[in-house]
Amino acid sequence: MARRSRHRLLLLLLRYLVVALGYHKAYGFSAPKDHQVVTAIEYQEVILACKYPKKTISSRLEWKKLGRSVSLVYYQQALQGDFKDRAEMIDFSIRIKNVTRTDAGKYRCEVSAPSEQGQNLEEDTVTLEVLVAPAVPSCEVPNSALSGTVVELRCQDKEGNPAPEYTWFKDGVPLSENPKLGSQSTNSSYTMNTKSGTLQFNTVSKLDSGEYSCEARNSVGHRMCPGKRMQVDDLNISGIIAAAVVVALVISVCGLGVCYAQRKGYFSKETSFQKSSSASKATTMSENDFKHTKSFII
């Protein structure tokens, strides 16, 4: 019984495979080809190739750009959108004459043609990667700094693809990533991150005064920001002490002046004068009230 049940299962599996293969041939479905990745430099030309054996009169071709929403690139024997003015068809392939960064993405060509088994459908997928040179990086350099403090310079580019690496220059000379290998005229306490573009001085000194610029570079190109000067000065301790002494002297002189005025009675005279003036005002008011009352009685 067990052997018979096994034979039945095998027969059922064989029948299922035969039916599936027949369905595949009848409707002409084909397995996707190897995924292509095409790289191009911005503003140059690129060809998106559709690997189909040969073009026939009855073949129907469509190109689509995939993403959150599918957009038609080639449909009903005509290029669509802005590809009309900057692309052309070469058999089943698209030649883009002036590729831009917005063209990057995944594309799919679909070729359908009649066959003996029915309508045959072939698909091929191409990923376009657009390389972009860096723009002029944004550089942040402080105008002044105090010796012994922590100072950080920043450099950043947001357009380059692949992401650029950064190099800082002082007075036109590139700074070494390892400060110990740099020139003797530069403080060796800095840290330069070529990936993030930061240049940090742990304890900045007067040797670090100079003009700083930064270069962003990738495999496509490189750009540099204009130089900016940073002036590092020592903390003027003697000046601070002198200022503190002057402030103390001013406070002492003011205090002595107040004491002298009190001894001479300037403050008491002013108070007695205020009292006499207020008393005279009160007398005048009472006389006026008396006159007003008298006139009222009469």
Between residues 155 and 56, which one has the greater pLDDT? 155
Domain 34-131 matches domain 138-233 at the CATH topology level: yes
Domain boundaries, the chain: 34-131, 138-233
Q: What is the pLDDT of residue 95?
A: 96
Local confidence band at 78 (pLDDT 50, 70, 90 cut-offs) = very high
Q: What is the pLDDT of residue 54?
A: 63
Local confidence band at 20 (pLDDT 50, 70, 90 cut-offs) = very low
User: Which superfamily does CATH assign the domain made up of 138-233 to?
Assistant: Immunoglobulins (2.60.40.10)
User: Which superfamily does CATH assign the domain made up of 34-131 to?
Assistant: Immunoglobulins (2.60.40.10)
Residue 235 pLDDT more than 90? Answer: no
**Closest Cα partner for 175 from 191, 195, 163?**
191
Q: What is the pLDDT of residue 115?
A: 72
Local confidence band at 64 (pLDDT 50, 70, 90 cut-offs) = very high
pLDDT digits (tens, 9 = 90+) for 92-140: 999 999 999 999 999 999 998 877 777 778 889 999 999 999 999 999 9
Burial (CB < 10 A; 0-12, 13-18, 19+), residue 69, is exposed
- Mean pLDDT over the full length of the chain: 78
Between residues 258 and 123, which one has the greater pLDDT? 123
Q: What is the pLDDT of residue 291?
A: 46
pLDDT digits (tens, 9 = 90+) for 135-186: 999 999 999 999 999 999 999 999 999 999 999 999 999 998 887 765 555 6
Local confidence band at 212 (pLDDT 50, 70, 90 cut-offs) = very high
Local confidence band at 249 (pLDDT 50, 70, 90 cut-offs) = confident
End-to-end CA distance of the chain: 147
Residue 262 pLDDT more than 50? Answer: yes
